[in-house]
Amino acid sequence: MARKSNTITARQRSLVKVAVQSDSKARTQARQQSVSAGRHQPTPVEEELQRSVLQLQSDNAELQAEIDQLAFALRTALDSSLDGSHPADGVDLNRQPPTHHEHLAEHGRTHSHPCPDTSPVAAPVYHEPPSVGQATLSCSVQHPGSICCSKLSSTTDPSGASCSVSLHTTARCTADDATIHRHLAPEELRSLAAQALVSAAHSFSLAAATEYRLKAGPPEAVAARHAEFLTVLERGVVISAEHSAPSQFDHKSYVLTLQDPQTARRVRAIYKPRVFGDAGGWHRTPMEWVAYRLNLLLGLDLVPPVAYRTAPLSLSLSDEEQPLVFQEGAMMLWVEGCNLLKEFPQDSWGVDPEVLQSDTRVLDVLLHNSDRHHGHFLLGPHWALDGMLPVLIDHAASFRKEAVVCMDHENAFGSGPVRCVSASTYLRLRFLDSHSVSQELGQHLSRAEQRALLHRRDYVLRYFDELVAQQGYAATVRE
């Protein structure tokens, strides 16, 4: 018998290589089938990676949909500008964009969207304050021939101990035009992107502060009680009227019974008519309304509901031959059964006495109200909450230029300067911005007075920040 050769031919080596490759492929397929069948347990790293991939896919899908709609709106606006037509109300961003296939077909025909470089104003195309906690995209034309798009996202740690906000802005030319590219070099695009970034950050800040105020606002039942009283104070018909107790400076006011013409509900109110010259600033009745609104902005609810009437009001009094007619004035809820706060022991006030004095001083500093004495602290049944609680009255002397009100001044109870602040008031002060002040108080405060209020807000925040640095957070901030 012939002896077999141990030499491996080239053909045999090729067959072995194919067999090894086939075996390797089979093992890979087996592993994949094993994973898909659930036999492979993913590691924590793999799970985290998978979650990240899914989140990115979701974010990309949402952003792509927004980009498609934005591109469609931009093309519509630009086409209108080029042919001389202008939509009456701007670009309709709610109009449905083309389907995905239609968009791809259109994009295949033209890869660039012509942008007219003759527009005199770089008007915003699409920009709205994003909601907190959502990934959003906003775009604007910062300068003709360019567009800036900002992507903002907010994520919160599951434990609630941290929150991350990221903002990414891209500026690019919107046309393949040599002139535009020459005028908009990278340095110019960078500056335009910076402008858009600041604008997007400001919008987000306003949205976040607004959402905080809504979340931290009064419970529904409390807000409803305020609304009920305000409705009667604003439109109630006078059923009866009488003089209130005379004031030290002879500032006239009247105790009224009002009836809602629709519901027939009746409430007692005190009416302070406005007088010529506002009594040198000591009887400026619109400030009663400002004090009530600012008190709500700070989350205090210490000032009874106030409506400000600007329509003529006729009052028939028993000791007057002719009805008295007033052009405008503050209509304030009369809280029945009130007495001076100082007549009650502090443990019956229903609140922490130090926090009450702190909140009152914060309100008075912001209002620039130096007229706070024992007679303006009352205790009575609260209009929206259960039980007897402190009531603050008489704020008509607010915003007098000559007044001096400081955080470290002595208070009406002689307990010394403010040394604490409630956690709620502290945060509300932090989010008391120019937007909320203008929106809530601008009806009766001038621009200069609004700026002065915000300047005093900064002073109050510095005062409390320094207290925290000196005393520690726990010793300064109360529940």
Q: d(Cα 77, Cα 72) in Å, to the nearest integer?
A: 9
User: Which residues does 237 contact at the CB level (< 8 Å), separation at least 6?
Assistant: 258, 259, 260, 261
Report the pLDDT value the prediction gives residue 62, as an integer from 0 to 100: 64
Residue 361 · residue 426 · CB < 8 Å: no
Residue 115 · residue 184 · CB < 8 Å: no
* Token representation of residue 467: 């207290």
Residue 148 · residue 196 · CB < 8 Å: yes
| Total-model pTM | 0.71
Report the pLDDT value the prediction gives residue 180, as an integer from 0 to 100: 74
Query: Residue 155's beta-bridge partner residues?
Result: 164
Asked whether the CA dihedral 452, 458, 460, 463 is positive or negative, the reply is: negative
> What is each CA distance from 426 to 215, 359, 461, 463, in whole angstroms?
16, 10, 8, 11
Report the pLDDT value the prediction gives residue 210, as an integer from 0 to 100: 87
Phi, psi of 239, deg, nearest 5: -95, -40
The full length of the chain comes to 479
Query: Residue 140's beta-bridge partner residues?
Result: 148
User: Any idea where the domains of the chain sit in the sequence?
Assistant: 63-215, 220-478
Is 314 strand, coil or helix? strand
Is 89 strand, coil or helix? coil
Q: d(Cα 364, Cα 265) in Å, to the nearest integer?
A: 33
Q: d(Cα 378, Cα 349) in Å, to the nearest integer?
A: 10
Residue 378 · residue 340 · CB < 8 Å: yes
What does 370-436 look like in DSSP terms, one character per residue? Answer: ----GGGEEEEE-SSSSSEEEEE---TTTT-TT----TTS--TT---S---EEHHHHHHHHT--HHH
Report the pLDDT value the prediction gives residue 107, as an integer from 0 to 100: 37
* Token representation of residue 396: 């008509």
Q: d(Cα 463, Cα 244) in Å, to the nearest integer?
A: 39
> What is each CA distance from 365 to 82, 162, 291, 298, in whole angstroms?
56, 33, 11, 13
Query: Residue 148's beta-bridge partner residues?
Result: 140, 171
Residue 154 · residue 133 · CB < 8 Å: yes
Report the pLDDT value the prediction gives residue 369, as an integer from 0 to 100: 97
Residue 149 · residue 135 · CB < 8 Å: no
The amino acid at 298: L
Residue 90 · residue 80 · CB < 8 Å: no
Report the pLDDT value the prediction gives residue 90, as an integer from 0 to 100: 38
Report the pLDDT value the prediction gives residue 185, as an integer from 0 to 100: 86
pLDDT by residue for the chain (479 residues), tens only, comes to 444 444 445 554 554 444 445 555 555 555 555 544 545 677 766 676 677 667 666 766 666 666 666 666 666 655 554 444 444 343 344 444 444 334 333 433 333 333 333 333 344 444 444 444 567 888 888 898 889 999 988 888 888 788 889 999 999 888 777 777 778 888 999 999 999 999 999 988 988 888 888 888 899 999 999 999 999 999 999 999 999 987 777 788 999 999 999 999 999 999 999 999 999 999 999 999 999 999 999 999 999 999 999 999 999 998 888 999 999 999 999 999 999 999 999 999 999 999 999 999 999 999 999 999 999 999 999 999 989 999 999 999 999 999 999 999 999 999 999 999 999 999 999 999 999 999 999 999 999 999 999 999 999 999 999 999 999 999 999 98
Is 448 strand, coil or helix? helix
Report the pLDDT value the prediction gives residue 104, as an integer from 0 to 100: 36
Query: Residue 331's beta-bridge partner residues?
Result: 271, 307
End-to-end CA distance of the chain: 103
Report the pLDDT value the prediction gives residue 113, as an integer from 0 to 100: 35
